[in-house]
Amino acid sequence: MAAPQNYLAVIKVIGVGGGGVNAINRMIEVGLKGVEFIAINTDAQALLMSDADVKLDVGRELTRGLGAGANPAVGRKAAEDHREEIEEVLKGADMVFVTAGEGGGTGTGGAPVVANIARSLGALTIGVVTRPFTFEGRRRANQAEDGIAELREEVDTLIVIPNDRLLSISDRQVSVLDAFKSADQVLLSGVQGITDLITTPGLINLDFADVKSVMSEAGSALMGIGSARGDDRAVAAAEMAISSPLLEASIDGARGVLLSISGGSDLGLFEINEAAQLVSEAAHPEANIIFGAVIDDALGDEVRVTVIAAGFDGGQPPARRENVLGAGAGSAAKREEPAPSRPAETSRPASGIGTVPPREREEQAPAPVQAEAAPVTELPNTQSSPPHVPPARPYDSQAEELDVPDFLK
């Protein structure tokens, strides 16, 4: 008689390096169910403090258990030296999350190696990593960018959480300890938002194949989290998720969206519909939206919405390029909003995009005024400051009002 088979998806969460191990410790503490936790580190002392199901101290000969010294090359070599051991603990996984804090040594250098092994075994591989805080220094920031670029090549989907964005949603009195804890909490939300769709029987249920259809070879992904109570709570939570400070770009153009809505047993069908409609309108018109609703009475009257958007043309969210140029549609819209308020205050500032065209038109009119400025230059002759007059002429077209008082003085 054939032995009964387990048809549940096997999900493994691998924390690589100090930041990654801290993140999975947080997930274990909260009680994330249905997944196996694996801690990989070059720091033996940090591994001892982890409650992960499997602990793997890599680079034993290379680092003697003392860490990678914030050197990604050491972290990479340590992971490569123990490739067979990593492969052994990843075998049988349908889905592998690789989580790390980018910028250090083991996580930055080792995560791409772990992801490469997981993908070679046929597992759907998702990277969930943090970009370091600015106060951690320029070197860590540069190492993080290189590590993120390497990891992106080795995973199906990569979610990058910028730690600096956490400051915009934190109190000014927040401690460093709490700041890093909140980073771990966001990593938890990213993993939980996906795994709950698969492992938790829901009101509207999803399976592993649904998630795989969105996240397989999807490139960069964006994650937003929102929660709300009271009237229109589902819509408010959805709005919060798609405009989350954690999003480095807009979800516009996403061809694959995972939408998870969690609430108590009083969660209404129309609430779910309105929230889903809001998210679908923000994504690509032909987006594949995988949607799940989970009933959790522990939430009370709170509704939580997690949105993970992927499948952008070119693999990158288009808004990210717009941010670099500083002239994208999203940034233009933001700059045009304050434009009407600035003229209401004074007409002097010229930083708003909306005020630039009229000033350019004014420049065409003052062209003949520069000829009229000749008599104005006669005034300074009495003050014996002719050397300052020629350089002042180019600025007359932009700020003549300021030049005249200077001469009068």
Residues making up the annotated binding site for GTP are 18-22, 105-107, 136, 140, 184
By C-alpha distance, which of 143, 89, 87 is closest to 116? 87
Element counts in the chain: helices (H) and strands (E): 18, 10
Report the distance separating Cα 283 and Cα 138, nearest Å.
34
106 near 114, Cβ under 8 Å? Answer: no
289 residue type, one letter: I
Instruction: Find residue 125's DSSP bridge partners.
Output: 96
Q: For tokens 């249920």, what's the residue? A: 205
Cβ neighbours, 10 Å, residue 310? 29
261 residue type, one letter: I
Q: For tokens 């092994």, what's the residue? A: 117
Known binding-site positions: 18-22, 105-107, 136, 140, 184
Q: Positive or negative, the Cα torsion across 294, 299, 304, 306?
A: negative
* Helix (H) / strand (E) containing 38: strand 36-41
Own/partner pairs for 367-374, CB < 8 Å, 24+ apart? 367/397, 369/396, 369/397, 369/400, 370/396, 370/397, 373/400
Instruction: Find residue 219's DSSP bridge partners.
Output: 157
Q: For tokens 């409609």, what's the residue? A: 277
Q: What is the DSSP letter of 345?
A: H
Report the distance separating Cα 339 and Cα 156, nearest Å.
42
Instruction: Find residue 66's DSSP bridge partners.
Output: 43
Torsion of CA 84, 37, 19, 317, to 10 degrees: 90
Report the distance separating Cα 153 and Cα 115, nearest Å.
9
98 near 124, Cβ under 8 Å? Answer: no
